[in-house]
A = this chain, B = another copy of it.
Amino acid sequence: MKKMDLTPMLKPKSVAIIGASRDPDKVGHVILQNYINAGYSGRLYAVNKNADADIMGVKTVRSILDIKEKIDLAVVAIPAQYVPMALEECGRSGAKTAVVVSGGFAEIGNTKLQEDLVSVAEKYGMPTLGPNCLGVMDPRSRIDTLFLPTYKLSRPEVGGVSFVCQSGAVGSTVLDLISGEGFGLSKFISYGNAAHVDEVDILNYLMDDEETKVVIMYVEGIKRGKEFIEIARKITKKKPVVVLKAGRTAAGSAAAHSHTAALAGSYEAHEALFRQYGFTIADDLSDLLNYAKILDSCDFPKGNRVAIITNGGGTGVLSADAIGITESLQLAEFSPSIASSLRKQLPPLVNIRIPLDLAGDADDKRYEIALNAVTSDSNIDMVLAIVLFQTPGADSKLAAKLVSLKERMNKPLIVLSVGAEYTAMHTKMMESAGLPVYESPTAAVRSLAALLKYARYRGMK
């Protein structure tokens, strides 16, 4: 399979924004503004056929052909009918890659226009993303072709999760949600109609990208089945790929076709393929984020036995239920020696069994005793620590303690904390230190199951 080099698109030394404008209502204005705001430090050019010397202080030309150097990335934000010609100029100027954010192609029946676009991209061997997409974002290189202002769509921090998304709407909302999560972004690639660069090319690139630890993706349809299988087989042996596939039902499938002209195909067939090649399957947007979080921050478990440590009995019960429902996980039991050691260290009212209910007055010291025991118990493979910050003993000292325990723990540890402001404050603190925190028993336990499943696919090495 021929590999497209997307490095000039994601790490460009020079960018030309075709359609950059002074008019704040124009897409090209917002894109240029975002580049300026993000502090992109490469060479930036505005291209506008009615151009003056500069737009918002950025050197401006009438055509990309007027730029002296060969541009790494051309961002195209002009009406659809002018796109093929603009791309032709990009090609002639020696531009290495292009991102076409403009819509108005195959998704509304203009297949001819889209074919013209592909012809130009192929003629110049110029990887071209889109059309009808949000483009790319890379917080490391500060590349951001999104035409959505930052006050509406918060941008995530730097991290290890790459997000590949066919839909601009799903892309922008999930990106916005990631900005509130503890994990950070490696690359965001919204590929829209997938006319030239498609999911196969993107996965092929991300497979060898050292900054990408986990890939999450939303797809509506896969065009090149054979090549997809080839890349799927390889990438999941190197890094986890979480996939949310639209078109699970007849209703969704028809809607997907109308949206990106994707032939959604049989969901069952896709699901079987995803499973066979070790993809982690998400059922909803929230799964995408929940699974990314645990895969980004936890090592593989050695088995399926989960210890629950809690300061709230009922939440422990609900989590035990959630474990029962997964079928793949099971509730751990303490080894006799560990149990008797805990018996000596914990207050008499604490019942030494799993879920271990440390009681509503548990503080950081009591959690430390419990988690140290869990660490040295070979009958336990993973740990779910439930911390209800409404209780008297749960405070920032406990949150900090959990972070430090995670760092020296030899098995996956995640936290479940449910609540409003006071809880959110501590969740943020723990997550930014690399400890994944979940908001519901189901989300926490399903994420442990996803981690186990992928670990098994990889032979739990």
Partner-B contacts on A (CB < 8 A): 25, 30, 104, 108, 148, 151-154, 165-174, 176-177, 179-180, 218, 220, 244, 246-252, 254-256, 258-260, 283-286, 310-318, 320-325, 330-331, 349, 351, 353, 355, 357, 360, 388-392, 418-423, 440-442
- Give every chain B residue within 8 A of A330 (Cβ-Cβ): 251
- The docked-state distance in angstroms from the alpha carbon of A152 to that of B310 is 17
Are A315 and B173 CB-contacts (below 8 A) given A108-B349, A349-B108? yes
Q: What's the nearest-Cβ distance from chain B to residue A382, in Å?
A: 14
- Give every chain B residue within 8 A of A170 (Cβ-Cβ): 312, 314-315, 318
- Give every chain B residue within 8 A of A218 (Cβ-Cβ): 314
- The docked-state distance in angstroms from the alpha carbon of A324 to that of B256 is 13
- The docked-state distance in angstroms from the alpha carbon of A286 to that of B440 is 7
Question: Cβ of A353 and Cβ of B176 under 8 Å apart?
Answer: no
Question: Cβ of B320 and Cβ of A251 under 8 Å apart?
Answer: yes
Are A324 and B248 CB-contacts (below 8 A) given A170-B312, A349-B104? yes
Question: Cβ of A320 and Cβ of B168 under 8 Å apart?
Answer: no
- The docked-state distance in angstroms from the alpha carbon of A388 to that of B285 is 14
Q: Which 6 A-B pairs have the closest CB atoms?
A: A249-B324, A169-B312, A167-B314, A252-B321, A170-B314, A259-B313
- Give every chain B residue within 8 A of A391 (Cβ-Cβ): 148, 152, 169, 172
What residue of chain B has the Cβ atom nearest to residue A318's Cβ?
Answer: B246
Question: Cβ of B420 and Cβ of A321 under 8 Å apart?
Answer: no
Question: Cβ of A168 and Cβ of B360 under 8 Å apart?
Answer: yes
Question: Cβ of A252 and Cβ of B169 under 8 Å apart?
Answer: no
Question: Cβ of B284 and Cβ of A247 under 8 Å apart?
Answer: no
Can you name 14 extra interface pairs (CB under 8 A) apart from A169-B388, A176-B419, A258-B357?
A170-B318, A171-B314, A246-B314, A248-B325, A249-B320, A249-B325, A252-B317, A252-B322, A255-B313, A255-B317, A284-B322, A284-B440, A285-B440, A286-B440
- The docked-state distance in angstroms from the alpha carbon of A330 to that of B251 is 8
Question: Cβ of B251 and Cβ of A152 under 8 Å apart?
Answer: no
**Which residue from B179, B324, B355 sits with its C-beta under 8 Å from A250?**
B324
What residue of chain B has the Cβ atom nearest to residue A389's Cβ?
Answer: B152
- Give every chain B residue within 8 A of A172 (Cβ-Cβ): 312, 388, 390-391
What residue of chain B has the Cβ atom nearest to residue A285's Cβ?
Answer: B440
Question: Cβ of A419 and Cβ of B153 under 8 Å apart?
Answer: yes
Q: What's the nearest-Cβ distance from chain B to residue A350, in Å?
A: 10
- Give every chain B residue within 8 A of A30 (Cβ-Cβ): 392
Question: Cβ of A360 and Cβ of B169 under 8 Å apart?
Answer: yes
What residue of chain B has the Cβ atom nearest to residue A220's Cβ?
Answer: B317
Interface-central residue, A154, A251, A391, A423, by most chain B CB under 10 Å: A251
A-B contact list, 6 entries, CB within 8 Å? A167-B315, A169-B316, A171-B314, A172-B391, A176-B418, A176-B419
Question: Cβ of B179 and Cβ of A420 under 8 Å apart?
Answer: yes
Q: What's the nearest-Cβ distance from chain B to residue A248, in Å?
A: 5
Q: What's the nearest-Cβ distance from chain B to residue A260, in Å?
A: 7
- Give every chain B residue within 8 A of A311 (Cβ-Cβ): 169
